[in-house]
Amino acid sequence: MEQGLEVALTDLQSSWNNVRHHTEEISSDRLLVRRGQAFNITLYFRNRGFQPGLDNIIFVAETVDSVYLDSEPQRQEYVVNDYGFIYQGNKNWIRPCPWNYGQFEENIIDICLELLDKSLNFQIDPATDCALRGSPVYISRVVCAMINSNDDNGVLNGNWSENYLDGINPAEWTGSVAILKQWHATGCQPVRYGQCWVFAAIMCTVMRCLGIPTRVITNFDSGHDTDGNLIIDEYYDSTGRILKNKKKDTVWNFHVWNECWMARKDLPPGYGGWQVLDATPQETSNGLYCCGPASVRAIKEGEVDLNYDTAFAFSMVNADCMSWLVYGGKEQKIHRDTNTVGNFISTKSIQSDERDDITENYKYIEGSPQERLVFTKALQKLKAGRSEGPHKADLQRSTPVPPNGDGPWSLHMPSLRPSDVVQVSLKFQLLDPPNMGQDIRFVLLALNMSLQFKYLKVNLSAQSLLHDGSPLPPFWQDTAFITLSPEEAKTHSCKIPYSQYSQYLSTDKLIRISALGEEKSSPEKILVDKIITLAYPGIMINVLGAAIVNQPLSIQVLFSNPLSEHVADCVLTVEGSGLFKKQQRVLIGVLKPQHRASITLETVPFKSGQRQIQANLRSNKFKDIKGYRNVYVDLRL
């Protein structure tokens, strides 16, 4: 009888396979293959050679590719690309923030696997957790919960307090690699600090590293509806300033989350594809601070009863906004706006540095009959779910109906705008670009749309905002008395000096100017506001000479102090996957007023292809002057 084969050596052909599976940047020594794609191994036998027809070798590897994208350009962008842009600012001034995802950098794959092993799921039941790791729905929820540290020793501590003395201001980060490596090096202690775009960027790195197509999404004017009625209540005083919300409802100036591509066999057909995942700790989901995956198509169609957290995701892009005037201990409804929430939903375009607007993926055109029908359907589903739940009595007690009867479950169309009733419109217009260090000049435009005289009293105010919508105290106020002839337009000029706003400015550099107008013959109040994001001049980066793998390269970084005062504690950070082995930190010290400076860094690129350099300058007066430069690195001369 022929002796059976004895395997002496198995060659996993790691280098050859990894190139074909686009994992060679992670390692050439370890086998790293992607689901749904063939790979080769070679078996060497000890006792004799393999004899076809006599010997039979069975090799079993079972995978289901539930994260497969048909498009090669999409696979390159959402799995392989290791840099990108995260959009910030406001809906009228959208700016790209460059980011180094670095999913192929040294040790990142091991840190991502460590992250899975540190999850509560693995700690409680390792066998079940490992058995479920083939499910992208499961693994995305685990990663989402582990990015924040609210329930566990997750990667990042969130902080919106403006006090970052014991950590890093979230605005200073330019990449994920430094954060993940710090978390690993400190024994998995949460890194201080992050806000929404940092949470989303870290999750993008981890998910791309694990082979799940992922992109970063920014939603401008993003709703945070805490009581699940799809209405964001905002409260104002008689000067027009926004008040802290007792219900914690807010409209974030922008909010950032992720979309991951996956099949959803746990949902009805048609709801696979892009799924919302939000690692920013806002509300709990099944007891943990994570959100999603929620089908983007389900959000658009108002199917808010589908898993996971679809109702919350729907409110972020399509809640209505109710404005209330608070005076004398009473609340007066000003207006219900159906268009405020969810604007210019943005992500980086495929293989391009341009912005891609994907708002139509999330909702029908604002104000269209279809959009209102979807909103009504979502409200009805939420109401049915609440009334059938165990806390029905609590719900009824906690949602009092306003005096005018327009309750939280009202399906009415939005009310007339006060300006339509009074027939006077108010509007702000900036006279200059809002640059940091300069006075802010603007006018209030008042237009009488009627054939009668109008006598207006307008209270104006300015206050800083955090990007999550939290208001800071007002620092500027004005009152205007305006008389308008029939169909007349007038302007009221305003100026806020830098010396006045500089000491009140938040890291987010947001100023909200508002006007609350009343006409003496009408009880209606007209409220208008404008969000201003103050801009810095960016960092310029020049690459001096050709970029070639393993050849020295000089990089010039030019920056300036935009202010008319000295700034101290200046630190420049520079990084870029495949270009720098680690983040570069250069201590600059003091910069004189309006001073321009440059430094030259030397590096040796170690990976070929399209790369990006990201830079940030911080000081005691500003935290996030940024710049970037794309670089193509050749393999040889």
* 41 neighbors 60 (Cβ within 8 angstroms): no
> Annotation-wise, does 172 bind a ligand?
no
Has domain 424-533 been given CATH number 2.60.40.10? Answer: yes
**Catalytic site residue 569?**
no
> Annotation-wise, does 320 bind a ligand?
yes
pLDDT number for residue 432: 94
Mapping DSSP to helix (H, G, I), strand (E, B) and coil, where does residue 505 land? coil
- The DSSP 8-state label assigned to residue 170 in this structure reads G
pLDDT number for residue 386: 73
Cα–Cα dist 101/95, whole Å: 18
Q: Which CATH class is domain 540-633?
A: mainly beta
pLDDT, one tens digit per residue, over 419-468 is 677 799 999 999 999 999 999 999 999 999 999 999 999 999 999 998 88
CA dihedral over 121, 122, 126, 128, signed as positive or negative:
positive
pLDDT number for residue 417: 66
427: phi then psi, degrees, rounded to nearest 5: -155, 140
For residue 280, which of 224, 363, 205 has the smallest C-alpha distance? Answer: 224
pLDDT number for residue 247: 63
pLDDT, one tens digit per residue, over 371-409 is 999 999 999 999 888 766 543 333 332 233 333 333 333
Q: Length of the chain in residues, anyone?
A: 637
Quickly state the pLDDT bin for 418 (edges 50, 70, 90): low
Q: Which CATH class is domain 1-63?
A: mainly beta
Mapping DSSP to helix (H, G, I), strand (E, B) and coil, where does residue 184 land? helix
Cα–Cα dist 171/177, whole Å: 16
pLDDT number for residue 335: 87
Mean pLDDT of 181-208: 98
97, 144, 188, 196: the active-site residue: 196
What's the chain's Rg over C-alpha atoms? Answer: 28
SS3 content of the chain, % helix, strand, coil (to 5): 20, 35, 45
Six token digits for residue 72? 């090669």
* CB within 8 Å of 349: residues ≥ 6 apart: 355, 356
Cα–Cα dist 278/198, whole Å: 11
Beta strands 156-158 and 191-194, pairing class: parallel
Task: Domain ranges for the chain, please list them.
Answer: 1-63, 72-387, 424-533, 540-633
**Catalytic site residue 29?**
no
For residue 598, which of 534, 550, 552, 554 has the smallest C-alpha distance? Answer: 554
Six token digits for residue 548? 């070639």
Quickly state the pLDDT bin for 246 (edges 50, 70, 90): low
pLDDT, one tens digit per residue, over 575-623 is 999 999 999 999 999 999 999 999 999 999 999 999 999 999 999 999 9
In this chain, the answer to whether the domains covering 1-63 and 424-533 adopt an identical fold is yes
Query: Taking all residues of the chain, what is their mean pLDDT, rounded to a whole number?
Result: 91
Q: What distances in angstroms separate CA 420 from CA 111, 425, 450, 524, one per listed residue? A: 58, 8, 10, 10
Mean pLDDT of 159-184: 96
The number of C-alpha atoms within 13 Å of 274 and in the hemisphere containing its C-beta is 19
Q: Does the structure show a pLDDT above 80 at 282?
A: yes
Six token digits for residue 219? 């939603």
21, 255, 335, 467: the active-site residue: 255
For residue 270, which of 317, 292, 303, 316 has the smallest C-alpha distance? Answer: 303
pLDDT, one tens digit per residue, over 83-110 is 999 999 999 999 999 999 999 999 999 9
Mapping DSSP to helix (H, G, I), strand (E, B) and coil, where does residue 80 land? helix
Quickly state the pLDDT bin for 2 (edges 50, 70, 90): low
- Just give the CATH number of 72-387: 3.90.260.10
Q: Which amino acid is at 558?
A: L
For residue 534, which of 240, 171, 251 has the smallest C-alpha distance? Answer: 171
* 615 neighbors 627 (Cβ within 8 angstroms): yes
Q: How far apart are the first and last CA of the chain?
A: 60
**Catalytic site residue 196?**
yes
Cα–Cα dist 444/11, whole Å: 74
pLDDT number for residue 531: 94
266: phi then psi, degrees, rounded to nearest 5: -85, -5
> Annotation-wise, does 301 bind a ligand?
no
User: How many C-beta atoms lie closer than 10 Å to residue 419's C-beta?
Assistant: 19
User: How many C-beta atoms lie closer than 10 Å to residue 478's C-beta?
Assistant: 17
Answering whether pTM is above 0.85, one says yes
- The DSSP 8-state label assigned to residue 613 in this structure reads E
**Beta-sheet strand order (sheet of 471-484):** 471-484, 454-465, 510-519, 525-533
249, 278, 468, 529: the active-site residue: 278
> Annotation-wise, does 65 bind a ligand?
no
Instruction: Name the burial class of residue 365, with classes exposed (0-12), middle (13-18) and buried (19+) by CB atoms within 10 angstroms of its CB.
Output: exposed
